[in-house]
Amino acid sequence: MNVMGISGTPRKKGNSEILLRYALKPFKNNGWNIKIFLLSELTIKPCNACESCRETGTCNINDDMQSIYDAFRWCNAIIISSPVYYLNVSSQLLSVLDKHYAVKFDKPLEGKVGGAIAVGSGTSGGQTITINAIHTWMLSCGIICVPGELNGVKAVADKPGDILNQENWLKQAEILGFNILKVAKLLQK
């Protein structure tokens, strides 16, 4: 079984990346294959609405999106984390989400399971809206959204790595991963 994770922060070793890695721990412990996409390392250019994908079924922009399309097809489960930027996902992540458009008729993620993580510096800093944005995209792709202990993970941290001092949020990310794993296993039966 395969799981993919996308970390939406442009910062290396950002809090989103750390939380994603914690959410993937239960999959590692269960022997799943894991692919992690760090948007701090990849170049994903935004959709330019050329609509050529309608003819070709893929995006003709030369960037790292092809490996993410492959992973959409490959995975059984998907976890997405994002920093909160102006009460929404990062623009780096939004480019990835928009570019699902090229493969939407193939429905590569339909019937798979997923979950979301958002981290912002403020308490009630827009984490709920960010989770909703990711969940709405997931539902549009036919993904079954799985909650953590309470909906998605809505973590609070500021500087890169600050989240490591907050055991509670690390635990919450792991619970989200565990729940996604549980539902994926149930669907497999």
Q: Could you tell me the smallest distance in angstroms from the CB atom of residue 96 to ligand FMN?
A: 15
The number of CA neighbours under 13 Å toward the Cβ of 176 is 35
Q: Which is nearer to ligand FMN, 89 or 109 (CB)?
A: 89
Cα→Cα distances 101→32, 96, 141, 166, Å: 28, 10, 9, 37
CB atoms within 10 A of CB 125: 18
Tokens 């609070």 belong to residue: 156
Q: Could you tell me the smallest distance in angstroms from the CB atom of residue 79 to ligand FMN?
A: 14
Q: Which is nearer to ligand FMN, 30 or 121 (CB)?
A: 121
Q: Which is nearer to ligand FMN, 9 or 179 (CB)?
A: 9
Query: Cα–Cα distance between 60 and 73 in angstroms, integer?
Result: 18
Q: Could you tell me the smallest distance in angstroms from the CB atom of residue 11 to ligand FMN?
A: 4
Q: Which is nearer to ligand FMN, 160 or 177 (CB)?
A: 160
Q: Which is nearer to ligand FMN, 62 or 123 (CB)?
A: 123
DSSP state string for 122-145: STTSSHHHHHHHHHHHHHHTTPEE
Q: Could you tell me the smallest distance in angstroms from the CB atom of residue 114 to ligand FMN?
A: 19
Residue 68 neighbours by CB under 8 Å, 6+ apart = 6, 37, 42, 44, 96, 99
Q: Which is nearer to ligand FMN, 26 or 160 (CB)?
A: 160
By beta-carbon distance, which residue lies closest to ligand FMN? 125
Q: Could you tell me the smallest distance in angstroms from the CB atom of residue 43 to ligand FMN?
A: 17
DSSP 46: P
Cα→Cα distances 4→24, 29, 133, 155, Å: 9, 15, 19, 21
Query: Cα–Cα distance between 48 and 84 in angstroms, integer?
Result: 24
Site residues for ligand FMN per CB under 6 A = 9, 11, 14-16, 83-87, 119-122, 125-126, 157-158, 160
Q: Could you tell me the smallest distance in angstroms from the CB atom of residue 159 to ligand FMN?
A: 7
